[in-house]
């Protein structure tokens, strides 16, 4: 997307989304706004508005929608939704899906809507994602996925995203890192079982096995973010290489075999396992556990 293009329709579109309405406006006030020449505001039939294909929010809380619908019945639409007109005469939602859903629940036949003159997919995607990221109460994973789409589908760099959403570059980068977490942990964030602060503490651990074990510990013991950060700091400190007494010479071939066996043990027990040879035929096996539940699970595996 060229810079000139961004300064044109896209800039005006973002101005409508963020600058023209105040939180105290009623539906009647909205009709008195005076948009730009390429920005119309109309009362559009709710049935003729198609949903936003670029909506980053995956789940809509039904009780919250019911509350919003009741508010709409009593006070009307506080802020207009934003749409674009399609070739078939219908409209496509850009922003305001919660308002549209709630308006339908409230059985409104028409809803006040800004109509933006936007046709390019890149502009539509960028406006929709940025508006939803800035306004909606998204969880951290939904925000991270929105950032990633801006990178992959809009060719934006992290610096450009940070400017558009009003976050520091490091904040954007840290949020994007959440996408590298195991799927179970990402689902846990979406369910609000753990916070983004917990997730950042988990990311401080190097491998997926450690991350999963630590996540289970956070959930089972209801650790605070501070306690989680203290745990990872201690884990990093304990992991620093210590000078061990040399028992006997281990060849490169033996090292490869030991590493292979350690990985097999870790796959079986689901935790960190270390082999410490004391001779060519003897040694110690250290199986780590972090909670009483982990220990019971490992004992059960040993019995099988």
Q: Annotate 48-100 with DSSP letters as a single string.
A: GEEPPTT-------HHHHHHHHHHHHHH--SS-EEEEE-TTS-EEEEE-HHHH
Between vectors from CA 115 to CA 112 and to CA 116, what angle results, nearest 5°? 150
Judged by DSSP in three states, 279 sits in: coil
d(CA 97, CA 111): 12
At 223, list the tokens: 């650790």
Q: Which helix (H) or strand (E) holds 284?
A: strand 283-287
Q: Is 97 a catalytic residue?
A: yes
Considering 28, 97, 109, 229, which one is annotated as catalytic?
97
**What burial class does residue 213 get, using C-beta atoms within 10 Å of its C-beta: 0-12 exposed, 13-18 middle, 19+ buried?**
buried
Q: How many whole angstroms separate alpha carbon 169 and alpha carbon 163?
A: 8
Q: Which residues have a catalytic role annotated? A: 97
């Amino acid at each position: 997307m060229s810079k000139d293009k961004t300064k044109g329709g896209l800039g005006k579109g973002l101005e409508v989304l963020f600058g023209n309405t105040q939180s105290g406006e009623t539906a009647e006030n909205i009709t008195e706004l005076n948009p730009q020449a390429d920005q119309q505001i109309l009362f559009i039939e709710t049935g003729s508005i198609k949903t936003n294909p670029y909506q980053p929010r995956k789940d809509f809380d039904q009780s919250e929608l019911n509350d919003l619908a009741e508010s709409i019945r009593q006070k009307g639409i506080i802020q207009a939704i934003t749409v674009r007109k399609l070739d078939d005469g219908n409209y496509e939602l850009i922003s305001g899906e919660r308002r549209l859903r709630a308006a339908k629940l409230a059985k409104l036949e028409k809803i006040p809507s800004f109509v933006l003159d936007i046709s390019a997919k890149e502009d539509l995607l960028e406006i929709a994602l940025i508006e939803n990221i800035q306004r909606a109460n998204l969880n951290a994973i939904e925000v991270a996925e929105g950032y990633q789409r801006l990178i992959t589908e809009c060719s934006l760099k992290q610096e450009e995203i940070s400017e558009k959403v009003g976050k520091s570059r490091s904040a954007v980068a840290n949020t994007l890192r959440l996408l590298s977490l195991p799927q179970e942990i990402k689902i846990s964030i979406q369910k609000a079982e753990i916070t983004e602060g917990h997730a950042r503490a988990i990311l401080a651990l190097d491998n997926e096995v450690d991350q999963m074990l630590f996540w289970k510990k956070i959930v089972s013991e209801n650790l605070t973010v501070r306690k989680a950060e203290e745990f990872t700091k201690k884990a990093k400190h304990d992991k620093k290489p210590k000078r061990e007494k040399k028992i006997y010479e281990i060849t490169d071939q033996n090292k490869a075999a030991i590493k292979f066996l350690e990985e097999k043990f870790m796959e079986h027990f689901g935790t960190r396992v270390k082999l410490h040879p004391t001779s060519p035929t003897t040694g110690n096996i250290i199986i780590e556990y972090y909670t009483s539940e982990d220990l019971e699970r490992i004992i059960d595996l040993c019995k099988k």
